[in-house]
Structure 1
Amino acid sequence: MTDRVKGHRTTDSGDARRDRWKSHRAARREEFVEAALRALATHGPDLAMEHVAHEAGVTKPVLYRHFTDKADLVVALGHRGTEILFERLIPAMNSEEAPVPRIRKSLQAFFSIIEEYPNLYRLLVRTTFADRGLDADIVAEDKEVIANALAGLLGDYMRAFEIDPGGAEVWGHGIVGMVQNVGEWWLERRTMSRDQVVEYLTQTIWAAIDGTLRGWGVTIDPDQPLELNKIVKLSLGDAG
């Protein structure tokens, strides 16, 4: 007896087939992005599409089925870089530790990434695609998200200590801007180790925070965990 009933198809619906094809294409794009990361390590930020295709073991026409052009691939690399950054940075920023160790751990997370993926960072900082609008400026978007999240965290602490939180945004954006600028300088110069630059930044940031707190009559032990542990309200979705 046949498994078919007249007028009824036992095959998957068109929607199911489309969903499977969409998932397949997404998975292939991810594979090509990982290949591009490996190609970046070899060829630097000036890599070409043929370098990526060779690394992935496909022809350029196959690569162009998944990315409209190099700009499209760079944007995808930017989103992957954001994932890597937030996967390390969020747990570090939300660690239940004393103020100085918490600052240090957060800085280590950032500097470990630019040390591990220097050419990805250079590519994203140097590349602009005006016709793609803000979606292509991944670094600026990440800075904005992290600065706003940090401002929210600092504002929470300032209110808890009964300090005017009006300067929280200044603090958030100022710290993020300083860290990025130092990171770019260190990446090109390497006149000191990662641990050294992290320690200098840790002490600089803490000295500024401590000075501000003392101006409001608040003194905290930098090496003792605080009774209240405010967390950064930040997720990967905030950058997407």
Structure 2
Amino acid sequence: MRDGVKDLVSSEDGRASRWDEHREARRAELVEAAVAAIDEHGPGASIAQVSASAGVSRPVLYRYFADKDDLYRAVGAWGAQQVIDGLLPVLLTDTPIRERVEKGCEVYLRLIAAHPHVFFLLVEHPTTDDPLADGKEMVAATIARTLGDVLRDLGLDAAGAEPWAHGLVGLGLSTGEWWLRRRTMSRAAVSRYLSSFVWHAFEGIASEHGVVVDRQGKLRLVAE
């Protein structure tokens, strides 16, 4: 009897796990459809337009999202993951720090330029919740871990990594919004100014802790 109960519980757990996987996969597909609808119709894309893009009815869409806020939060998480997936290969290389900063800024601006309407929807907060709240935390946590690792490798206090990371996220969002709205200079020019600002801020903080950049562009702790 006990074996039968175990088999039944195991079978039910397996079905629940498969349903969870299916649900997450379906949600991801619907988020992609929402992104496509926003790309096409702008930040004001309606739920009807999102449903049409997904090829489902509104009731079906709302089986996977509690409400519009939930859908937009999922779009925000999608956008954040796009940024993380683009930045990590750049940040985790062994190239000089300044090159990583420059390449990271280029990647970020290219990503938001690919989906400007999605970016505007997320930063304009069209609903009661901030759809980027979780996404900003995701990106900041990724940057903080990378900064923290660099600081710890140099034997320095890594406590500042988290507030600096959140500051960089805010800088990226405000600069990105300004550029996408105004378009008064090229993406390359914005990337150059943005990376220069970030680099010199980092270099200044590093120098306060006795860290210099050698001729190969590597960070080096100066012995006291």
| TM superposition score category, shorter chain reference | 0.7 to 0.9
**For 1:145, which of 137, 141, 145 is the aligned residue?**
141
Contact 2:214 2:220 in 1 (8 A): no
Q: Is the 8 A contact 1:154 1:172 kept in 2?
A: no
| Offset at residue 168 of structure 1 (A) | 4.9
1:183 aligns with 2:176: yes
For the residue of structure 1 that corresponds to 2:33, the secondary structure is helix
Amino acid at match of 1:202: S
What one-letter code is carried by the residue in structure 2 that aligns with 1:85? V
Aligned partners of 1:17 and 1:167: how far apart in 2? 45
The structure whose Rg is larger is 1
1:189/1:153 CA distance change after superposition, 3 Å:
farther
Contact 1:39 1:51 in 2 (8 A): yes
In the alignment, the residues of structure 1 paired with residue 187 and residue 215 of structure 2 have an alpha-carbon distance, to the nearest angstrom, of 22
Question: Structure 1 residue 155 and structure 2 residue 148: aligned?
Answer: no
- Aligned counterpart for 1:204 among listed residues 197, 200, 203: 197
**Aligned ranges for residues 50-65 of structure 1 at < 5 Å?**
50-65=48-63
Q: Report what 2:73 is aligned to.
A: 75
Residues 56 and 68 of structure 1, relative CA distance in 2, 3 Å threshold: same
Say yes or no: does 1:91 pair with 2:84. Answer: no
Using a 3 Å threshold, how does the CA distance of structure 1 residues 54 and 99 change in structure 2: closer, same or farther? Answer: same
One-letter code of the match for 1:37? V
Contact kept, 8 Å, 2:51 with 2:58, in 1: the verdict is: yes
Q: What's the secondary structure of 1:96's corresponding residue?
A: coil
Aligned to 1:42: 40
Find the aligned partners of 2:62 and 2:158 in 1 and give their Cα distance: 50
User: Given that residues 144 and 164 in structure 2 are in contact (C-alpha distance below 8 angstroms), is that contact kept between their aligned partners in structure 1?
Assistant: no
Aligned to 2:4: none
The one-letter code of the counterpart of 1:108 is: E
Deviation at 1:169, TM superposition (A): 5.1
Distance 1:208 1:42 in 2: 38
AA of the residue aligned to 2:61: L
Code of the aligned partner of 2:190: V
8 Å CA contact 2:34–2:53 kept in 1: the answer is yes
Distance change (3 Å), C-alpha of 1:222 and 1:72: farther
Amino acid at match of 1:197: V
Q: What is the one-letter code of the residue matched to 1:156?
A: R
Please report how far the alpha carbon of residue 215 of structure 1 lies from its aligned counterpart in structure 2 after TM superposition.
Answer: 5.5
Matched residues in 2 for 1:145 and 1:112: separation?
Answer: 21
AA paired with 2:199? W
Give deviations 1:120-150, integer Å, cap 9, x for gaps.
22222222655x6x88623442454245335
User: Does the CA-based 8 Å contact 1:40-1:120 persist in structure 2?
Assistant: yes
The two structures have a TM-score, normalised by structure 2, of: 0.78
Whether the 8 Å CA contact 1:124–1:139 is kept in 2: the answer is: no
Task: Please give the alpha-carbon distance, in whole angstroms, between the structure 2 residues aligned to 1:27 and 1:219.
Answer: 47
Separation of aligned partners in 1, 2:158 and 2:54: 50
* Equivalent pairs, count: 214
Structure 1 residue 173: deviation in Å?
3.9
**Could you say which structure has the greater relative contact order, defined with CA pairs below 8 angstroms and 6 or more residues apart?**
1
- What displacement does 1:202 show? 1.8
